[in-house]
Structure formats: C-alpha cells, structure tokens
Structure 1
C-alpha cells in the first residue's frame, strides 16, 4: 500500500520512498567502511508495530552483512508514553482513490490495531538491540539510573503543570562500543499529563524540544555533567546525540519558528548556556531535517558547545552525515 499524496504534501517527509532511501544511505555508509552509525530519532513513520518490525529487520540485516552497529535515540514519531496512541493514516488504492487505515473503528475504511503508536514498553523489544540495552561487545553501558536495562528500572521524574512530579520512562544511555569512544544518547522526548489533550490525556514536548527537557526533566543535565567529567578524566572521546538541537541552528531564529505550519522552538541563549555547562562539547541532532551546525563559544566558566544538525533520508535535500 502507498500513503496518499495528500499526506505527503502536508508533511516535512516523504513516506513511500523511505525504505529505499534508508537502504541507499546505509549502502553508502557501508562503502565508506563506517561501522558505527547513530540514528537521531524518528526511525519509524509513527511508531506502528509493522514499521518497527521492518526497521529492525533492515538494521539487523546490515549488522549481519556489514558488521555495523546502530545506536538509536527516541524521536517524537517513534513511541508514545505509558500507553499506545490511536492513529489514522491515509492510503491510496490501485484506482487512485483514498482510504483510511485507523487503530480505531471511527471513520476508518480499514480499522486495525497495528496502526497504533506503540508505548515505550511496546517499542523497546523492537529497538533494544540498537543501543537501548547492553551488547556483548560493549566495554561500558549505563543509564541515568544504573546498569539495569529493564524499562521499570528506567523511570525519571517529570515535572507536571501543577509543579508536582510523576515517574515516566526515559531511555537515555551511555555506551562505549569501542575502546576510547563514549556515545551518549539523551532521551529528549518529554511527556506530561494534560486532561485537555486528545492524545490519551498526555502532551508531548515535540514543539518545545530541549526547552521541555530543561523545564520538566532537568535532572538529565546532572547526569550529562557527570558523564562528561568522567570522560575527560578517563581520556574518552565523548559524542552526544538526541532528537532535538541544543543550539539555534537557524542563525538567530530563536524562540518560536514557523516550520511546516506548526510553531516550534529553538533553544535560546539561556537554554544553550545551561546545556553547554554540562561539558558535553559536541552534540548531533535530528528532527528539523537540516544540514546545518551552530557553535556556542566558550565563555568564562562555561565550555564551548557545537550542535551538528543532521539531514534526513526522507526530507529534501536527502542526505546523511558520514566520515
């Protein structure tokens, strides 16, 4: 089945070409002899079971054939919070007509539970082999909470609108896949209760990006500071990545930026200073589908920070970063 042209035109990404585009990118990576690959979130269309199964199959194929290792970080299209999320998508029939496939029976030509966006717990079995759990070859693997990869051991406090806190899953991890290299994946997905939301009573911070992280799970900064300090002390090269940029990569267009008809936020100077103070130094991001970078120079008492925004295989211009 093909996704409708209408949905493609109203998105920042293509749908029907995603698999051949991913394979072409991985073929280029393989040809360059690169074996460690970071995928900066949004591995799937919207976290549906068939898409996770297909994505995992492709990555495992390249692991087996090309001796690659893949490291994922959660994107806003990959999972939902504690429960799955109902979704409806448009598809095109052979005769050109459009029909809907939905995880509910409301207004759907083809209802199926497979259209649901998976929760963290449902997604993790598909993705655990790609950084979210320790690998036999890893020299180090940990989370902000210890070394237990089980989801129930990876719950962090989220600040709610009434300034209380509740536990929510967090899939951040640190891994040393080869001697001397530390790869730090930060789960920048943020979810908090909102009774007015039509998304199963939860809101997500996809429009706020790192602003939501700093507001609602700032304890991640403490762990990032600890990791960067240990990396420096032990002489490790630290590479950090998450789905959202930690600096304004649009040349001063901080605050609310109109992108694809939606209001989205870039980190402002104050946010950038807080993240830079952790000492991570280098950060790779996705989400915006941009091939850009930004650097915050070192200041008195605060180290420099560079954000490399990575383009997408499903957004124009199609590209990837490699070296």
Structure 2
C-alpha cells in the first residue's frame, strides 16, 4: 500500500499549472534539464511514532496532519506545509512536458529529519519508476543541519486545539512546555541522508555513463561501475578542517547521465568545530567553502579541463550561489541597511567569484536565497565568464522552477516556470482557521492576518506570504525606522519633487515632512512592497507591478538628484541610497526567459 496516498490523487487531477511561456517541450524533453530548488519538503501526513501526538485531525479527509502553524509560516522565509503539494505539482508538470532529468540543488527537505527524507524518497522513487525520471541532488544547509545528526525538535507544530505542539526526540529537549516525543523529528546526518537517497546522484548508478567524486582520479577511459561504486563510500570522501582530527564528508560528484552532458554537484556546506566537540553548521556558502574546501577548487579545475577535452557540456549546481545576486546593489545595501541585514553575509565576494571563475566554470545553478536572479562575473585575469542562475524556491515567492536546454554548440535557452496554481493548496485552511480562533480566544501574541486564507491560487498565496513576512519580520529587523516612516508619509508627487531639488532644499523638505521623533510604523509602504517583488522575483515580480507605478519609478530614476555629498546616514542620504538600490534591481539582467551564448559571452532576453 502506498504510504503517501496524496500522490495518486494529484496524478489524476487536471493540470492547472501556468507557464511563463509555452514551449513544445514534449519533443525536446530529452535534451532539457529542470532545476527544482529549496523544496523544503515536510511530510504533512507523517507517522511520528509518538505515543503523545499523532497529528491533528483534518476534517476534509479524516487523516492526521503533521503540519506547522500558520503563525510560524508567516515568520519564516519559507512555507512548511503547502510546498508539499507544490512539489508534486511541479513533478506532474515535468512529466507532462517529457522532461526526464531533474536537479534538486539543496534544501530538498526541511532539516533532514527521517520522516521528511523518507517522504522525499517515496516521491522520487515513484516518479523514477513510473515516469523514467532521473533525479540528481546536492545538499543544502537544511538537509544535514549537523554533519552527523543529533537530537532535535520543533516547537511550532499545529496541535489538536489550535495551539502550538512541541515535538522533539527527547522530552527534555524544550523547557517549560509539553513535548511529544518522536524520533522522526531528529536530525539525520550525511551517512543516513545520502544512503536513503543513494539512487539520486550521491552514489554511482548503473544507468550513468560516468560518475566520480573529488577524492579519486578522473579516469573516463577506464570507468567501471562496480569499481567506482566500491570507492564511492563516504569513508573514501572525507576531508579535515581547521587542522582538527575530525573528518567531514564532502558529497560532491560529477555524473554523465546522458551522452554529452556532465552535471557537477558541488557540496558547499561548511561545518566548523566548536569547543564542546560538536560541529557548528553554516549557511554562508562559498565564501567559506573557498577557504575550508580548497580540495574542491582543485578538483573543479580538473573536471572542467576533462569536460573540455572530451567535448562534454558541463553544468554545475550547488545549493549556494557563486556570484553576487542583487544586480550589483549588495554594497549599497550593506551601506544602507548594515552588514548583517538582508542575509548579506551570504553574498559571494568578488574574490570568491574570481576563484571559481578561474577554474573555467561557466554555467552554475544555485538556490538558497529563495529568489529569481541571473548574475554574471567576468574574471579579468583569466578572461572567463561565469553565469550564476538563481533558482527560486517552491516554498516561497516566486514559487517557480527553471529549465535549461542546449540549442546550439554554445547556446543555452533558460526558462522560468511559475507555479501559479497548485492542487490541494487549501487543504489545511480549516485547520489554520482553528489556530486563528485559538489565538484570538486566548489573547496570544502573533495573531496573523487571516485574509491570506482568501488567496485564490498559489501565486497569490506566496505573494501574500511575502507581504505578511515583510510587515512582521523584514521591516522591523532590517530597515531604518525613519526611512520606512518617510516612505509611508510621502506620495509619488512628493518623491518626484524631492528628487528634483538641490541638496539643501531636499534636506529641508524632508525635515519638514517628518520629524526625527515621528516614526509611524503602520502597514507597509507601497514602494517597499514593490521593492521585495523585484528583489525576490526579478522579472516575475516586475510583471506584478501596475504600469502606472512602473512609469512613476522610471521618472523617479531619471530625476534623482546627485547626493554624493549629502551627509552620510542622513534622511536624504537614506532615501537616495534606497532609490539607487531600487533602480539596480529594476534594470536587471534577464531572469525569466533568456538565452546565453558562452562563446560570444552574451545574454539575451527572449519573448
């Protein structure tokens, strides 16, 4: 009996997934590779093996849901529940298009717990068996949270009465709260995760034409599956860090699943040792990997050279980006918001990008940031050009995946396919209403805006999620209060007038507009909402901004005053910095449907 009865239900449903553009991929699916990033899969109907809690009864289907609260979703950069159905919908779309090769660039589970890893395995096994799909995974920071696992727990599962239910691997994991014990919520490490998902890239597969890892020679001419399989154990793929005695696994690999295509999976996870002998996880990415995983850089260079020698098309992927992903605005963002805001520590430095570009890598797909973006780094020393393509998350706005198709000797067409509609999206909405009533009746903090439950489709749902997240988390934690208040009080005409003033007049105008002590933070200014549509969605977000506001922004950019000599950190300086950042995001590289020519080193937007 199928442990996940939801899958066949969705298989029989009519497709309602909308694409950004229509392609006849039925004929070209065999040459197309799909990238589905940051799935963050959580088993929403898991068997917790817990005496204290088996889930909350869902009246829609009589099953026990193991879901997180809406309150927790609206304070997280990702959804925990509905993305389960989004993942199935995306796989169904790929099946219809005839796309067989599917890459998951990390965070394929939400924290690598047994129940989530095994749910993913069941789904991938089914699509592999029934539809002939091949899946290739690499680890993200939410897969092996700790390299060798450990006791873990979550406070924010939805309980039977609408309150939060804590679940952990030990009853004393959380203090001052009732804990339901379940080993299904503990962290799995590299050994358990890679073994459970062994058929999906982490180890050699008999269908592969070639497979290798960083700790063995690239011997293409004498490749033997059985020999490679024997040498592929994690014990043979370990490295030391910080000169410590402990060894860590590196799950990187290169694979040729079909003639002429090499997929290079880069494990960018970095762990450092702590004083108590445990390992500290990190979500920084290649800024640290370039320091602590130098063996990987040497290996990449060898893979690139071998692929070139044998006329193979090499596409690398990792959970982490290799190039700056804010359209060149990261330094200005650090100046305005601060070094530790906006996850700016995760932006690859130019030194990091230079090191990886110097290896000869040209095409790299990444996730981690839950954004849609295209970045380019041109190495002046080696004359190499590295394209970094950010794949959006299926668990956040804009929920989408990407495809790449080789269209010529050095030409590649890349498409971004949004998940506008997802079957079963509202399956838990009645349970969220129960949660909302409980919060109101018990006068608890964190009461969320229930209008999100009126979202008509998955596109609106993820957009509303971003809007609530911006209001409840991003603005309070990342933004200067004075700038937010100013944007709340100024209309479009006033912004345009300010941009045309000289420095003294502009500063005087702003001082009269808002007293330094007046910071009325109620609601989210429209310009900040549009800013997040652009920052997260790029071209997909820009399409959602009404044409009259698009025209206004273009006028504002044209008229903006030169404030280089404005007193730094003043209100005029803050506003000018923000508009400058906004402008860079507004005029970005193509990130929806575009073509890259590696020989000509060009990128061209396609209709």
Which interval holds the TM-score relative to the shorter structure? over 0.9
The residue that corresponds to 2:280 in the other structure is: 203
Residues 165 and 308 from structure 1, CA distance in 2 versus in 1: closer, same or farther, beyond 3 angstroms? farther
When normalised by structure 2's length, the TM-score is 0.50
The answer to whether the aligner puts 1:191 opposite 2:256 as a matched pair is no
Q: Of 165, 175, 179, which aligns to 1:109? A: 179
| Correspondences of 1:152-163 after superposition (within 5 Å) | 152-158=235-241, 160=242
Mean Cα deviation higher: 168-177 or 4-13: 4-13
Mapped contact 2:151–2:169 kept (Cα < 8 A): yes
Deviations 1:218-241 (A, max 9, x none): 110000000001101110000000
Tell me which of 286, 289, 292 is aligned to 1:213: 289
Match of 2:247 in 1: 167
Q: Which residue of 2 aligns with 1:241?
A: 317
Q: Aligned with 2:257: secondary structure?
A: strand
| Equivalent position of 1:226 in the other structure | 302
Alignment-derived partner of residue 364 in structure 2: 283
- Conservation of the 8 A alpha-carbon contact between 1:273 and 1:302: no
- Rate the CA distance shift 1:83–1:297 in 2: closer, same or farther, 3 A: closer
- What is the CA distance between 1:70 and its match in structure 2? 0.4
Where structure 2 has 5 or more consecutive residues not aligned to the other structure, the ranges are: 1-65, 217-227, 405-607
Q: Deviations over 1:298-317 (max 9, x none)?
A: 53424110000000111111
Change in CA separation of 1:133 and 1:292 when aligned onto 2, cut-off 3 Å: same
Query: Partner of 1:175: helix, strand, or coil?
Result: strand
Match of 1:41 among 106, 114, 124: 106
For the residues of structure 2 that align with 1:140 and 1:9, how far apart are their CA atoms? Answer: 44
CA contact (8 A) 2:106 2:137 kept: yes
Give the match's secondary structure for 1:99: strand
Instruction: Give 1 or 2: higher strand fraction.
Output: 1
Give the alignment of 1:11-90 within 5 angstroms.
11-89=76-154, 90=156
Which stretch of structure 1 is more off in the superposition, 64-73 or 108-117?
108-117
Partners of 1:263 and 1:298 in 2: how far apart? 22
Q: Which has the larger radius of gyration?
A: 2
CA distance in 2, matches of 1:94, 1:63: 36
Cα gap change, 1:191/1:300 in structure 2, threshold over 3 Å: closer, same or farther? Answer: closer
Residues 1:179 and 2:259 are matched in the alignment: yes
Q: Distance in 2 between matches of 1:257 and 1:284?
A: 25
Q: CA deviation at 1:125?
A: 1.6
Deviations 1:32-59 (A, max 9, x none): 2111011010011110001000001101
Deviation, 1:157, is 2.5
Partner of 2:584: none
Aligned match of 2:233 in 132, 150, 157?
A: 150
Q: Which residue of 1 aligns with 2:476?
A: none
Q: Which residue does the alignment assign to 2:416?
A: none
In the alignment, does 2:389 pair up with 1:319? Answer: no
CA distance in 1, matches of 2:397, 2:381: 39
Determine if contact 1:195/1:202 at 8 Å carries over to the other structure. Answer: no
CA contact (8 A) 2:237 2:249 kept: yes
Q: Once the 2 structures are TM-superposed, how far is the Cα of residue 133 of structure 1 from its aligned partner?
A: 0.9
Cα distance per residue 1:274-306 (max 9 Å; x no partner): 110011111000100111010112534241100
Instruction: State the distance in 2 between where 1:171 and 1:44 align.
Output: 16
Q: Deviations over 1:4-36 (max 9, x none)?
A: 122212211111112211001111112221110
Counterpart selection for 2:354 from 258, 261, 273: 273
Q: What's the C-alpha RMSD, in Å, of the aligned pairs?
A: 1.7
Structure 2 SS opposite 1:294: strand
Partner residue of 1:125?
Answer: 195
What is the CA distance between 1:78 and its match in structure 2?
0.6
Q: Alpha-carbon deviations, 1:98-122, whole Å to 9, x = none?
A: 1100122123420222211101112
Distance verdict in 2 for CA 1:292–1:26, change over 3 Å = same
After TM superposition, give the deviation of residue 263 of structure 1 in Å: 5.8
SS state of the match for residue 258, structure 1?
coil
In the alignment, is the contact (CA less than 8 A) between 1:92 and 1:99 conserved in 2? yes
TM-score by length of 1: 0.92
Larger helix percent: 2
Equivalent residue number for residue 91 of structure 1: 157
> Do 1:257 and 1:265's aligned partners in 2 also have CA atoms closer than 8 Å?
no
Question: What is aligned with 2:390?
Answer: 309
List alignment gaps of at least 5 residues for structure 1: none
Q: Is the 8 A contact 1:81 1:169 kept in 2?
A: no
CA distance in 1: counterparts of 2:98 and 2:87, whole angstroms: 17
1:138 aligned partner: 208
Size of the aligned set, in residue pairs, is 314
Supply the distance in 2 between the matched residues of 1:87 and 1:263 (Cα, whole angstroms). 27
Residues 178-233 of structure 1: CA distance to partner in whole angstroms, max 9, x if unpaired? 1100000011011110126xxx7221221x21111011111100000000011011
